[in-house]
Structure 1
Amino acid sequence: MFWADLLLQNRKGAEWVNDAWTPSGIIHMGGLKGPVIHDVLFKILKEQGKKVKYTFGFDDMDPIDGLPPELAKSHEKHMGIPIANAPSPDGKGSFGDYYGNMMADLFKKLGIGAEIYLASDYYRKGIYNKAIEFVLDNAGKIRKVYSDMYQKPIAKDWFPLQVICPKCGKLGTTKVTGWDGKEVLFACKVDLVKWAKGCNFKSSISPFNGTAKMSYKVEWAAKWWTFGVTIEGAGKDHASAGGTYDVAKKILKDVFEKEPPLAFAYEFFLTGGKKMSSSKGLGLTGQDLLEVLPSQLVRFLMIKTPPNQAIEFNPRSRDIIPRIYDDYQQAQAKGDVNHRAFEFSQIGEKEKIPEIRFLTLTQWVQMPNMQDRIREEGLENWAKYAKVWVEKYAPDDVKFEIQKKIPKEVERLSKKQKAFLRKIAKELNKKWEAEEFQRKLYEWAKELGISSNEAFQALYLSIIGKDHGPKAGWLILEYKEFVQKRFMDISSV
């Protein structure tokens, strides 16, 4: 049974699926796994006729606590300011808008049906006011949860809330130390965190309508309580034992006195066994991924493997990208083990799936004479992705180039192999269709008493300097005059 169907077995009542992300940088491909997985659950529940909602939050009230190298100078002064209040790198809108718009565009391309909301909007509109008041009134219970979970005492003047300093605009540098039922007492501290400096301003302020933000773990529980969320998974880093997710669930249960939503963890993408990390140069951005895989195949990649299993993904591997295409083609068959994943990979109307293998298509896109056939067979879309893979990621043994000079490797050719080349050169005086010529190559090799492996190795070495390559018939006829002379020169030595 498909993992998502199994997860949703025996569910009753209306459902609210939720997920969230902080719009603080370029979206790594791993950051798309959660949105796609939750979207599949949402669509299955719709398929079942359930009343269901899928919301996705952009957590733009989080303070800026790190910057990509290219923004280190221009945005250093904004460290500690809420993402929603800092300027965009391109000068249009906010810092959160800049990255949030990128994610929204990816959602559209991937057919993700979530209703996007901004945390800053919900805070400013007062949607979280009730939760904020409840959290402050029950701060003692929350301290106990933290103390029990982390096995350490929590100061009695600690509150799970930070305010936006009215003087310097920073949130990440403030500490709330009191609550009188109407206002919180706070200080903007110079040394509260290493990544931002506060201004030493102290005062009291109402924590409602966007002036304050709940701490992350508490906010997570407060969202579940406010919305009535029934399903929300989390990445392995948050869902590990004693991690963020466990703390949020305990706060929801012990403080808000509500049962937590259906939980599940999803594993990382790995490259060479290591977690993908854009900061370490491992893996691709979401946009990069959509340049080498169509949207449907991106969804397929994300969901064909159960979420609790890591996915090895190295676009530079000879096998991984081609195998995704192969598996996708096979999965369209109703009896295939991945057919259910195939169904939920579709976006809009079902497209006609090419029959040609992706690796063959990578050869065709490198051969100018195959462009007409690519168009005739309606392969332009997949050919576009094949070309990107060849140019940016494919290993050298997938690529080929006509050698202008006779490769040294031909020195090791046997007399029979040279005779095979001579036979081809003579036959090129005739007019041939590529399909027929391809068949004849096998016949001529048999007539001359050499294996097809030896025969094709000889012609590939002579043309591209490698012992393997694209379909020989098309390759030879594309460069007919050049190949004829090359084969005669080699066979006469």
Structure 2
Amino acid sequence: MWVDLLVEDLLKRHGGPHVVNDAKTPSGHVPVGHLRGVIMHDCVARALRDAGVSAEFLYGFDDYDPMDDLPPHLPEYARYLGTPFVNIPSPDGRAPSYGHYFAAEFTGVFERLGAHPRIYRTSEMYRSGQFDEAIRAALDQVQAIREIYREVTHSARVDDRWWPIQVLCERCGRIGTTNVLAWTGDVLEYHCAPDKVAWAVGCGHRGTRSPFGGGSKLLYRVEWPAKWRILGVTVEGAGKDHMTRGGTHDVARAISARVFGRPAPYAFAYEFLLFGGKKMSTSKAVGVGAAEILEVLRPDLARFLIVRPLPRRQLEFDPGGETIPTLYDEYDRAAAAYLRELDNPDLARTFYFARTAGDPPRCYRPRFAKVAHLIQMPAVDLARVVAREKGAPLTEADREELERRIADARRWLAAYAPEHYKFEVHSSLPKAVATLTRAQRQYLARVAESLSARAWAGEELHAHLHALRAEMGLTPRDAFGAIYQAFLGKDSGPQAGWFLTALDRQFVLRRLREAAQDAA
């Protein structure tokens, strides 16, 4: 399991105690991709505690950042571009600020996924003076920071007029449009420039103010190492875009060592979570929102999706394909390993970190794909079918698990399932049967003979159907296509063996014989 290997390496370098940190700017509905960082850091904190090491997990909301892009669903917020999120009104009119509103939405999601970090807000840290010492150090050592930027990023834009800080304009309240003109050792002279950035217009005000107590904000690459020092962070991963050579983390690491006098925390990189091949974006609302994922996946399954791959492996979530049925199958195997019904220690460990609460109850877990197919057959008693498959009466835990899967399957079918998962059992013989060949009709007649001879279990019948079509020289497509055409009017459908055994036996026999009528 990747987290065990990571923690083993970490403890060789730093025995603890540990402070694990992650953060996000609450710039809008947070996409599901950002859950990867939260859950991975939560796993690291859990693994450290399992190893007997004190570990605190912190999660920060960088709500003193300026709004630098307009969310498409809030065009009326254009006037707030350049303003810190904490100073922008909440979209619902009830939360203390825009930043609080979207932070609370995201917190509610990751708490349902079993992550319960201690929350902090950079706005509160700036206003309370926690950043004051770091701000003074950055301003007094501005030349060292300029040199670090030039060395690491090779940026020509960092000249002797560049400053690593943004001042909160006392006239218009924007922080993203100000240029520092001078630092006296006590106050900053600044200009709120109309043309500093393309996404906001400064008011033109020139003035002086103290940078302390919330009067200013460090640029991200300086703020990041400042937080490491203030919070005592010892472990923090980041997306691969931050961890590239000459990137954000390289700058922050150098500033941490040369300006703030402490080594950077233990770092690890992780790949993006993609939706339809695109990286998730908060402000542009690309992909599935973090809150929306729980409308598709139950919390423990969503967490399992994030926990199972290696951090460096790109993770693509496409609820419209085979992702969810396959995910359920893998989750069930991991649950079986954790409950020692299957010998696979790595899968068992993956399930351990995917848990959102305590140990799951022992219960029978019918395949999600099968449940999704069976709920489309109104005459089927699903509990009865599952009990027959289990080979014993369903327990209360079995029934609760079945109900959860039924609810999940209904949501998935309604919103995301591919067309080949959707079907309707026709009450009368479909017209498509007219296209069946003589060989296909003979096959249906033989299937009817087999079904009339005795009762069959689903898997047993499915194997028999394969043997029968091989004996008759039919391809799987022709043989099973004939069955699906007879009942569904289409050439694909659920596994034929359990599909036929789930339906009323007399109905199946009548339909097969009717479809095979011209076989003689």
Partner of 2:493: 469
Which residue of 356, 360, 367 maps to 1:351? 360
Q: Which residue of 2 aligns with 1:490?
A: 515
Letter in 1 for 2:367: R
Q: Which amino acid aligns with 1:317?
A: G
Moved more, 87-96 or 38-47: 87-96
- CA positional deviation for 1:458: 2.4
Match of 2:412 in 1: 389
Q: CA deviation at 1:142?
A: 0.9
In structure 2, relative to structure 1, the CA distance for the partners of 1:447 and 1:338 (3 Å cut) is: closer
Tell me the CA shift for residue 409 of structure 1: 3.6
- Please name the residue that 1:400 is paired with: 423
Q: Is the 8 A contact 1:438 1:472 kept in 2?
A: no
Do the aligned residues in 2 keep the contact of 1:224 with 1:261 (CA within 8 Å)? yes
**What is the rounded CA distance, in whole Å, between the counterparts of 1:218 and 1:290 in structure 2?**
35
Q: How does 1:76-475 map to 2 (within 5 A)?
A: 76-93=78-95, 94-151=97-154, 152=156, 154-271=158-275, 273-276=277-280, 283-318=287-322, 320-332=323-335, 333=337, 335-336=343-344, 337-352=346-361, 354-368=364-378, 369-373=380-384, 376=394, 377-378=398-399, 379-403=402-426, 406-415=429-438, 417-418=440-441, 421=444, 435=457, 439=461, 442=464, 450=472, 453=476, 456-470=480-494, 471-474=498-501
For 2:485 and 2:367, how far apart are their aligned partners in 1?
A: 24
Match of 2:390 in 1: none
Give the drift of 1:474. 4.6
What's the secondary structure of 2:180's corresponding residue?
A: strand
Alignment deviations for residues 265-295 of structure 1 (CA, whole Å, 9 cap, x no partner): 1101235655355788864222232222222
Partners of 1:161 and 1:444 in 2: CA distance: 71
**Cα offset for 1:344?**
0.7
CA 1:280–1:396 in 2, change beyond 3 Å: closer, same or farther? farther
Whether contact under 8 Å (1:434, 1:477) holds in the other structure is: no
* Counterpart Cα distance in 1 of 2:459 and 2:250: 66
Q: Quote the RMSD (CA, aligned, Å).
A: 3.1
Paired with 1:280 and 1:15, the residues of 2 have a C-alpha distance of: 35
Q: Give the Å deviation of 1:325.
A: 1.6
Pair 1:3-2:13 in alignment: no
Q: Percent identity?
A: 38
Contact 1:442 1:452 in 2 (8 A): no
* Whole-angstrom distance in 2 between the partners of 1:280 and 1:13: 39
Q: Structure 2: how far apart are the matches of 1:214 and 1:280? A: 25
Q: CA deviation at 1:261?
A: 0.5
Please state how far the C-alpha of 1:411 moved relative to its aligned partner.
2.9
CA contact (8 A) 1:110 1:299 kept: yes
SS at match of 1:91: coil
> Is the 8 Å Cα contact of residues 445 and 452 (structure 1) preserved in structure 2?
no
Alpha-carbon deviation of 1:218?
Answer: 0.3
Distance in 2 separating the partners of 1:485 and 1:458: 15
The residue aligned with 1:37 is 40
3-state secondary structure, aligned to 2:162: coil
The alignment partner of 2:201 has SS state of: coil
TM-score by length of 2: 0.85
Mapped to 1, the partners of 2:364 and 2:149 lie a distance apart of 55
CA–CA distance in structure 2, aligned partners of residues 387 and 64 of structure 1: 39
| Structure 2 counterpart of 1:5, one-letter code | D
Residue 436 to residue 321, structure 1, CA distance change in 2 (3 Å):
closer
Task: Answer with 211-220 or 373-382: which moved more.
Answer: 373-382
User: Residues of 1 paired with 2:315 and 2:74: CA distance?
Assistant: 31
Aligned partners of 1:240, 1:163: CA distance in 2, in Å? 29
After the TM superposition, which of the residue ranges 438-447 and 227-236 deviates more from structure 2?
A: 438-447
Equivalent residues of 2:234, 2:265 under 8 A apart: yes
Contact 1:109 1:295 in 2 (8 A): yes
CA contact (8 A) 1:225 1:256 kept: yes
Task: Name the stretch that deviates more: 403-412 or 164-173.
Answer: 403-412
In 1: Cα distance, 2:176 partner to 2:466 partner: 76
Give the superposition deviation at 1:245: 1.1
Question: What is the CA–CA distance in structure 1 between the aligned matches of 2:381 and 2:281, rounded to whole Å?
Answer: 38
Q: Quote the offset at 1:367 in angstroms.
A: 2.3
Change (3 A) 1:267 1:441: closer
Provide Cα deviations, 1:403-444, integer angstroms capped at 9, x if missing partner.
4664454234344643565677799999x9885898599489
Does residue 26 (structure 1) correspond to residue 50 (structure 2)? The answer is no
Question: For each residue in 1:313-333, what CA deviation from the matched residue of structure 2 results, as whole angstroms up to 9, or x when unmatched?
Answer: 322222x22222222222231
- Structure 2: unaligned runs, 5 residues or longer: 388-393
Are the counterparts in 1 of residues 273 and 314 from structure 2 also a CA contact under 8 Å?
A: yes
Q: 2:84·2:174 contact (CA, 8 Å) conserved in 1? A: yes
Deviates more, 1:401-410 or 1:133-142: 401-410
Question: 2 CA distance for matches of 1:30 and 1:205?
Answer: 39
Are the structure 2 counterparts of residues 278 and 142 from structure 1 closer, same or farther at C-alpha, using a change threshold of 3 Å? closer
Please tell me whether the aligned partners of residues 303 and 356 of structure 2 are also in contact (alpha carbons under 8 angstroms): no
SS at match of 2:241: helix
Counterpart of 1:78, as a letter, is: Y
Structure 2 distance, partners of 1:187, 1:281, is 33
Query: How far, CA to CA, are the matches of 2:83 and 2:60 in structure 1?
Result: 19
